[in-house]
Amino acid sequence: MGTAQLRSLVEHLGSCMVTDVSDREPSQRRERTRQRLMDAAAQVFAEVGLDGETVETICERAGYTRGAFYSNFETKDELFLELAGRVAREQVEAVERRVREMVAGGPTDAPALTPIEIVQRVLEVSGDGRTTILLMSEIRIRAMRSPELAAAYLALGDEMVKSVEQIIGELSTAHGLRFRTSAVEVARLLIMLYEGASARAAMAGFDDEAIAATVSDEIGALALLLVVPPAAPLG
């Protein structure tokens, strides 16, 4: 994949985080084809891993020809990078829905929750299963070996940080949360911990429920360090 194609892909992935769907693809048919190819790639990955997956197996599972694949993606790496972007968007959208619910209710919606529990409650909806964790981990490993793929993956990560930073700002306003550092640093730290805790839990052989519980505990511990405790009432 050339630099120009990577730059175009990163711009596409970034715009997907914030723009309307109608502006992203030239046709609904093309979008359906791309989504079916990514769905098939995720399914095959779960069975044989990234290295064992070929363009042919992806096309066979999706019911398309190699021509359909290469009219949408230049390489397998490009497909998996976009699949990573889709996973990131789904996580952000789930968190945004939870934040909207909590913002609509305001501080009185969950009066018994501590600031730490508020952070955990918001982020718990973004949990990954083992297959997604394995996929993202393998993509990161491939990016470490490819400067071009690394640049695209890091750019995708920057877009994720921006989205989480905005979510943190909305949560702070709605529930009066104050942090010991900037929203962008909180976003970076939460994402780094989330990725690390998820990977460790997967390596330990935990099932999806245990992974989610472990990550929630880790996020709670980090939030305890980042959130400024509310002032104790006088008297």
Torsion angle in degrees (nearest 10) through CA of 219, 222, 224, 227: -100
Most confident of 68-72, 90-94, 124-128: 68-72
* pLDDT tens track for 129-185: 888 888 888 888 888 988 888 888 898 889 889 888 988 888 888 778 889 999 999
Note the pTM of the prediction, 2 decimals.
Answer: 0.73
Domain spans of the chain, in order of start: 3-16+76-226
Decide: 156 and 10 in contact? Cβ < 8 Å.
yes
The pLDDT of residue 234: 43
Fold of 3-16+76-226: Tetracycline Repressor; domain 2 (1.10.357)
Question: How large is the average pLDDT for residues 27-50?
Answer: 88
